Amino acid sequence: MANETSGTADGDPVPLVRMTREGGVATVVLDSVHNRNALSRRLLVQLAAELDAAEADPGVRVIVLTGAGPTFCAGADLREQQDGLGQGSVSMPDILNRIFEHRCPVVARVNGTTRAGGVGLMAACDLVVVPDTATFAFSEVRIGVVPAVIAVPVLLRMNATVAHEYFLTGEVFDAAVAERSGLVNRAVPEFELDDAVTGYVDALTRGGPLALAAAKQLRRTVPGVEPRRAFPRLQELSEHHFASEEGQAGISAFRARRPAPWMSGR
């Protein structure tokens, strides 16, 4: 049975983010349906708290991030953006960095419409699965603002020419464009969404936890580094993991044709 967290980080009895755990998988749900899971101050605080809780729980191997209702995330809470109070105690960069630096792979189970900052949140995840009916837009320019912060995760994934087009036009694009451009890993029929996510989760839990934590950093650290500088650093990383307790245990298990020790709880 899944275990659900109780209470919220900001003391409000009504959670905007929920986390359940089943086995080694923590499912984090944006549950602010009244404003299409917009990135309000309270939601960001609660999302940070749940990501931190998963980080601290050694039993969690993979995180699945999804939304309640028909929308994954509508982006910034525009009502709050007009109130003049500035950002809260947790910023959007704080959240994106938590996902980037989390020891666990994060799979975005995008349940529907995604706009602006929601696309950035999705793009920060390690793997992204969407229904083929989903639509996306960098709608910021339409209201006179810029997709600035989210450009960091988006441009790590998405073809730069395609991203530039949609950053400038603010036009809506579909799941096929998102998949072709690299923004998402897989676009599937809606009825296959959970199976596709489960397939990724199953594959991820077969990997060594320390190896996965290191491997997920390669996308951010290798591109743009001159090969003569990159090779020594990556050779050192490779040697470290081959010699590590986890690496040696995995090699022994492979040679003996038995499951790796980290798969004992599967």
* Residues in the chain, total: 266
Residue tagged active-site, from 22, 101, 140, 226: 140
Clarify whether 101 is annotated catalytic: no
Q: How far is CA 125 from the centre of its chain?
A: 2
Amino acid at 249: A
How far apart are alpha carbons 79 and 175 in whole angstroms? 28
Within 10 A of 240 (CB to CB), how many other CB atoms are there?
A: 12
Within 10 A of 176 (CB to CB), how many other CB atoms are there?
A: 11
* Cα atoms in the 13 Å half-sphere on the side-chain side of 1: 2
CA dihedral 62, 173, 147, 223 (to 10 degrees): 60
How far apart are alpha carbons 213 and 187 in whole angstroms? 25
Within 10 A of 249 (CB to CB), how many other CB atoms are there?
A: 14
Among 172, 55, 189, smallest CA distance to 131 is for 189
How far apart are alpha carbons 154 and 125 in whole angstroms? 10
Q: Tell me how many degrees the CA angle 164-38-91 measures, rounded to the nearest 5.
A: 75
Catalytic residues: 140
